[in-house]
């Protein structure tokens, strides 16, 4: 089952490939009910992730990154669009099959300590999934030792600790180990280092890179920190208020952003030398409410380049340079 990519070109989905793709998201919509009705936290987004690739998803808090990640595992009801994983359609598979797929598609969260059962020892936590599968105890034990070694917590020192005795970085290693123990194909990492000290962040990112190489993992890496996403991603997807602004090779997008929002995000990133402050003017204005987004281009209320057409017409994704796509009427040169 393959998607007809060419037939979608021009409908805002021209940035899709369709080759050795493991995950294909098309026009995804996720709605939440709130007081006074419902709103689209994800309002029609499309992207592809090839086997073995890391896709970074960036954008300010509330733009729908976590909702997108959760939708792939069907943890929230999908209001519209399709999610194809391998040859299966996530929005349609029976719940029983979905439970199996959730083992192949593991998720890592921001709060490592909170994601671990405080009443269990580290050596039990990493093989929780295997225990549920009914794997024999002796096998669990050897798997536990192996996994702890793989995530850099070798020997006996950590095995009998409870999650509360671990540092944030160690707890995240345990959470990663628990995911790896199930031999996943896809890892969805939702702000996995945002709660960690900068020095520890690099160690966890390196660990993810090592595991990716060793197990041929495909990764969706969600973060609000552009620097972190750049360090790990092959491609990057920039989101704003439930929509995609820009998509492309991460080196290209970071070096020559085509969408004014990407430019603004990059300009807001603090320079490594604190004396020099920020790279440019910070992003101005508040994010509009997703309950009543601006008509036309959603970014127009904060965009320094906005013109009349931006209010009248919603921009679709167009290829601005080979392999780089932006949803903007007036992309940056
Ligand atoms: N369970 C929920 N019920 C209602 N609104 C939600 C729920 N989860 C998230 N939201 C809202 O949906 C939008 C997107 O949230 P989220 O995907 O968590 O953004 P991000 O991860 O990019 O910060 C936000 O406006 C958020 O407040
Ligand atoms: S379409 Fe207009 S408002 Fe939107 S990002 Fe482009 S220039 Fe700015
Ligand atoms: Mg989030």
Q: How confident is the model at residue 214 (pLDDT cuts 50, 70, 90)?
A: very high
Beta bridge partner(s), residue 319: 325
pLDDT above 70 covers what percent of the chain? 90
Return the minimum-mean-pLDDT range out of 5-9, 215-219, 232-236.
5-9
Interval 294-330: pLDDT, tens = 999 999 999 999 999 999 999 999 999 999 999 999 9
State residue 280's pLDDT score.
55
Average pLDDT over the chain reads: 91
Interval 163-195: pLDDT, tens = 999 999 999 999 999 999 999 999 999 999 999
Q: How far apart are CA 90 and CA 84, in angstroms?
A: 6
CB 254 within 8 A of CB 278: no
Q: How far is the CA of 141 from the centre of ligand 3 (A)?
A: 34
Contacts of 10 (CB under 8 A, 6+ apart): 316
Q: Spell out which residues line ligand 1, taking CB within 6 angstroms.
A: 32, 34, 41, 59, 61-67, 290
Q: How far apart are CA 203 and CA 260, in angstroms?
A: 32
Q: Which domains does the chain have, with CATH numbers?
A: 2-104+188-196+217-326 (3.40.50.300)
pLDDT of 275 strictly over 70: no
Beta bridge partner(s), residue 222: 57, 190
Q: How far is the CA of 310 from the centre of ligand 2 (A)?
A: 6
Atom of ligand 2 nearest to the CA of 303: 8
Q: How far is the CA of 114 from the centre of ligand 2 (A)?
A: 40
State residue 18's pLDDT score.
54
| Ligand that comes closest to the CA of residue 191 | 3
Q: How far apart are CA 96 and CA 285, in angstroms?
A: 45
State residue 286's pLDDT score.
87
CB 84 within 8 A of CB 23: yes
**Nearest to 159, CA basis, from 168, 167, 149, 169:** 149
Interval 113-122: pLDDT, tens = 998 999 999 9
What is the model's pTM?
0.92
State residue 285's pLDDT score.
84
Residue 27 backbone zone (phi > 0: left; psi -120 to 50: alpha; other: beta):
left
**Nearest to 325, CA basis, from 27, 17, 43:** 17
- Find out whether the beta carbon of 320 lies less than 6 Å from any atom of ligand 2: no
SS3 232: helix
pLDDT of 54 strictly over 90: yes
Interval 81-138: pLDDT, tens = 999 999 999 999 999 999 999 999 999 999 989 989 999 999 999 999 999 989 999 9
Q: How confident is the model at residue 268 (pLDDT cuts 50, 70, 90)?
A: confident
């Amino acid at each position: 089952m393959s998607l007809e990519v060419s037939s979608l070109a021009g409908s805002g989905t021209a940035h899709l490939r369709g080759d050795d793709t493991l995950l294909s998201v098309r026009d995804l919509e996720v709605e939440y009910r709130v007081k006074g009705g419902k709103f689209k936290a994800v309002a029609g987004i499309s992207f592809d992730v090839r086997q073995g690739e890391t896709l970074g998803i960036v954008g300010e808090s509330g733009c729908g990154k976590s909702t997108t990640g959760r939708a792939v595992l069907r943890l929230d009801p999908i209001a519209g669009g399709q999610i194809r994983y391998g040859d299966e359609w996530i929005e349609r598979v029976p719940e029983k099959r979905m439970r199996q797929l959730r083992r192949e598609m593991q998720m890592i969260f921001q709060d490592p300590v909170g994601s671990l059962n405080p009443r269990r020892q580290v050596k039990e936590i990493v093989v929780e999934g295997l225990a549920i599968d009914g794997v024999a105890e002796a096998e669990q034990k050897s798997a536990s030792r192996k996994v702890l070694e793989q995530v850099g917590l070798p020997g006996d020192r950590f095995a009998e600790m409870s999650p509360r005795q671990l540092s944030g970085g160690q707890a995240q290693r345990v959470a990663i180990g628990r995911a790896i123990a199930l031999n996943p194909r896809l890892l969805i990492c939702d702000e996995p280092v945002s709660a960690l000290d900068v020095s520890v962040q690099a160690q966890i990112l390196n660990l993810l890179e090592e595991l990716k190489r060793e197990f041929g993992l495909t990764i969706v890496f969600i973060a609000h920190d552009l620097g972190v996403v750049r360090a790990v991603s092959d491609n990057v997807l920039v989101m704003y208020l439930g929509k995609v602004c820009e998509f492309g090779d991460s080196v290209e997008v970071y070096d020559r952003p085509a969408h004014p929002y990407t430019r603004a995000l990059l300009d807001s990133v603090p320079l490594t030398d604190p004396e020099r402050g920020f790279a440019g003017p910070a992003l101005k204005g508040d994010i509009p409410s997703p309950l009543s987004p601006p008509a036309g281009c959603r970014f127009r209320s904060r965009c320094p380049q906005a013109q009349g057409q931006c209010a009248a017409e919603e921009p679709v994704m167009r290829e601005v340079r080979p392999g780089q796509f932006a949803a903007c009427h007036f992309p940056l040169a």
